[in-house]
Chain A
Amino acid sequence: MAAIRQTFFQECEEQLAELESGLLAMEAGDSDSETVNAVFRAVHSIKGGAGAFSLEDLVRFAHVFETALDHVRAGRLAATPEVLKIKLRAADILADLVRAARDGTEVDDNRCRALADELRALDPNGGVEKEDDLSDLNFQPVLVHFDGLDDDDEPAAFSAPEHVFSIKFKPRPSLYAKANEAALLLRELSALGRMQVKCDASDLPLLSELDPEGAYLTWEIELTTDKDEAAIREVFEFVAWDCDLDIEMPGADAASDIDDDLSALLARVRASADEGPQAEAVVGDASFGVADETSNEPALASAPVVALPSKQAPNKAAAEVDAKSAAPTIRVDLDRVDRLINLVGELVINQAMLSQRVMEAGLARASAVAVGLDELEQLTREIQDSVMAIRAQPVKSVFQRMPRLVREIAAMTGKSVRLVTEGEATEVDKTVIERLADPLTHMIRNAIDHGLESPEKRLATGKHEEGLVKLSALHRSGRIVIEVSDDGAGINRPRVKAIAIEKGLIAPDVILSDEEIDNLIFLPGFSTASEISDISGRGVGMDVVKRSIQALGGRISITSRPGHGSTFTMSLPLTLAVLDGMVVTVAQQTLVVPLTAIVETLQPKAADVHGMGDNARVISIRNKFTPLIDVGRELSYRNSAADPLACVALLVETEGGGRSALLVDAIQGQRQVVIKSLEANYRHVQGIAAATILGDGRVALILDVDAVVASSRAEPGFYDNALAAVG
Chain B
Amino acid sequence: MTRTQTLLLPMDLDAVAAASLFEVLSTMVGHDVTIDGSRVEQIGGLCLQILLAAVSTWKVDGAVLEFTNLSLDLVAGLELLGVRPQYFLERETSQ
Contacts of B81 in A (CB 8 A): 182-183, 186, 197, 199, 219
CB distance B16 to A181 under 8 Å?
Answer: no
Q: Which of A301-309, A401-409, A493-501 contacts B (4 or more CB under 8 A)?
A: A301-309
Contacts of A306 in B (CB 8 A): 5-8, 24, 28
Among B7, B23, B87, max chain A CB count under 10 A is at B87
Chain A residue total in the interface (Cβ 8 A): 63
Instruction: Give chain B nearest CB distance to A51 CB in angstroms.
Output: 15
CB distance A208 to B8 under 8 Å?
Answer: no
Contacts of A213 in B (CB 8 A): 18-19, 46
Residue from A171, A292, A311 within 8 A of B91 (CB atoms)? A292
Mark out the residues of chain B between 1 and 33 whose CB falls within 8 Å of any chain A CB in the assembled complex. Answer: 3-12, 14-26, 28-29
Q: Say whether, besides A212-B22, A289-B86, A305-B6, A141 and B16 are in contact (CB < 8 Å).
A: no
CB distance B29 to A208 under 8 Å?
Answer: yes
CB distance A181 to B44 under 8 Å?
Answer: yes
Interface string of B60-84 (1 = CB under 8 A from A): 1000001010000000110111111
A351, B25: Cα distance in complex, Å: 45
Q: Say whether, besides A146-B79, A213-B19, A181 and B57 are in contact (CB < 8 Å).
A: no
CB distance A144 to B80 under 8 Å?
Answer: yes
CB distance A217 to B45 under 8 Å?
Answer: yes
Contacts of B28 in A (CB 8 A): 306
Mark out the residues of chain A between 190 and 227 whose CB falls within 8 Å of any chain B CB in the assembled complex. Answer: 190, 197-199, 201, 204-208, 210, 212-217, 219-221
**Closest Cβ neighbor of A143 among chain B residues:** B79
- Interface assignment of A445: CB less than 8 Å from any CB of chain B: no
- Interface assignment of A524: CB less than 8 Å from any CB of chain B: no
Instruction: Give chain A nearest CB distance to B71 CB in angstroms.
Output: 14
**Closest Cβ neighbor of B14 among chain A residues:** A1
- Interface assignment of A179: CB less than 8 Å from any CB of chain B: yes
Q: Say whether, besides A182-B44, A217-B48, A210 and B7 are in contact (CB < 8 Å).
A: no
Mark out the residues of chain A between 290 and 335 whose CB falls within 8 Å of any chain B CB in the assembled complex. Answer: 290-292, 294-295, 299-300, 302-316
Residue from B10, B43, B48, B80 within 8 A of A308 (CB atoms)? B10
Q: Which of A280-288, A588-596, A691-699 contacts B (4 or more CB under 8 A)?
A: A280-288
CB distance B16 to A3 under 8 Å?
Answer: yes
A87, B8: Cα distance in complex, Å: 50
- Interface assignment of A568: CB less than 8 Å from any CB of chain B: no
A589, B22: Cα distance in complex, Å: 58
CB distance B89 to A207 under 8 Å?
Answer: no
Contacts of A206 in B (CB 8 A): 53, 56-57, 60
Contacts of A303 in B (CB 8 A): 3-6
- Interface assignment of A415: CB less than 8 Å from any CB of chain B: no
A291, B77: Cα distance in complex, Å: 18
Among B8, B12, B45, B83, max chain A CB count under 10 A is at B45
- Interface assignment of A176: CB less than 8 Å from any CB of chain B: yes
Interface string of A164-186 (1 = CB under 8 A from B): 00000001000010010111101
CB distance B82 to A198 under 8 Å?
Answer: yes
- Interface assignment of A4: CB less than 8 Å from any CB of chain B: yes
Contacts of B48 in A (CB 8 A): 199, 217
Main secondary structure of the interface of A (DSSP, over half): loop
Instruction: Give chain B nearest CB distance to A655 CB in angstroms.
Output: 47
- Interface assignment of A676: CB less than 8 Å from any CB of chain B: no
CB distance A281 to B83 under 8 Å?
Answer: yes
CB distance B4 to A300 under 8 Å?
Answer: yes
Among A212, A291, A305, max chain B CB count under 10 A is at A212
Interface string of A541-570 (1 = CB under 8 A from B): 000000000000000000000000000000
Contacts of B49 in A (CB 8 A): 201, 204, 210, 214-217
A297, B16: Cα distance in complex, Å: 33
Contacts of A305 in B (CB 8 A): 5-8
A201, B5: Cα distance in complex, Å: 26
By size class, the interface of chain B is: 35 or more
Among B5, B6, B53, B89, max chain A CB count under 10 A is at B53
Instruction: Give chain B nearest CB distance to A2 CB in angstroms.
Output: 8
Q: Say whether, besides A183-B45, A208-B29, A308 and B24 are in contact (CB < 8 Å).
A: yes
Contacts of A60 in B (CB 8 A): none
Instruction: Give chain B nearest CB distance to A570 CB in angstroms.
Output: 41
Instruction: Give chain A nearest CB distance to B18 CB in angstroms.
Output: 5
Q: Say whether, besides A302-B3, A304-B6, A314-B16, A210 and B53 are in contact (CB < 8 Å).
A: yes
Residue from A281, A299, A313 within 8 A of B6 (CB atoms)? A299
**Closest Cβ neighbor of B68 among chain A residues:** A294
CB distance A197 to B45 under 8 Å?
Answer: no
CB distance B43 to A183 under 8 Å?
Answer: yes
**Closest Cβ neighbor of B52 among chain A residues:** A201
CB distance A207 to B26 under 8 Å?
Answer: yes
CB distance A207 to B68 under 8 Å?
Answer: no
Residue from B16, B34, B80 within 8 A of A312 (CB atoms)? B16
CB distance A1 to B42 under 8 Å?
Answer: yes
- Interface assignment of A187: CB less than 8 Å from any CB of chain B: yes
CB distance A183 to B86 under 8 Å?
Answer: no
Residue from B5, B15, B19, B55 within 8 A of A181 (CB atoms)? B15
CB distance B5 to A311 under 8 Å?
Answer: no
Instruction: Give chain B nearest CB distance to A145 CB in angstroms.
Output: 10
Q: Say whether, besides A1-B12, A206-B56, A312 and B83 are in contact (CB < 8 Å).
A: no
Contacts of A283 in B (CB 8 A): 52, 55, 83, 87
Contacts of A219 in B (CB 8 A): 81-82
CB distance B80 to A315 under 8 Å?
Answer: no
CB distance B12 to A204 under 8 Å?
Answer: no
**Closest Cβ neighbor of A201 among chain B residues:** B52
Instruction: Give chain A nearest CB distance to B19 CB in angstroms.
Output: 5
CB distance A294 to B16 under 8 Å?
Answer: no
Contacts of A210 in B (CB 8 A): 22, 49-50, 53
Contacts of B6 in A (CB 8 A): 299, 303-306
Contacts of A198 in B (CB 8 A): 82
Residue from B3, B18, B25, B45 within 8 A of A182 (CB atoms)? B45
CB distance A312 to B20 under 8 Å?
Answer: yes
CB distance B45 to A288 under 8 Å?
Answer: no
A292, B91: Cα distance in complex, Å: 7
CB distance A294 to B89 under 8 Å?
Answer: yes
**Closest Cβ neighbor of B41 among chain A residues:** A1
20 A–B pairs (Cβ distance < 8 Å), ordered by A: A183-B81, A197-B80, A197-B81, A199-B82, A204-B52, A207-B29, A212-B18, A213-B46, A215-B46, A221-B82, A281-B83, A281-B87, A288-B90, A299-B4, A303-B5, A303-B6, A308-B7, A308-B10, A309-B10, A315-B19
The 6 A-B pairs at the shortest CB distance, nearest first, are namely A197-B82, A199-B82, A182-B45, A212-B22, A307-B8, A291-B89
**Contacts A146-B79, A213-B18, A306-B5 supplied; 11 other A-B pairs, CB < 8 Å:** A197-B82, A204-B53, A207-B29, A208-B57, A210-B53, A217-B49, A219-B82, A283-B55, A294-B89, A308-B10, A312-B16
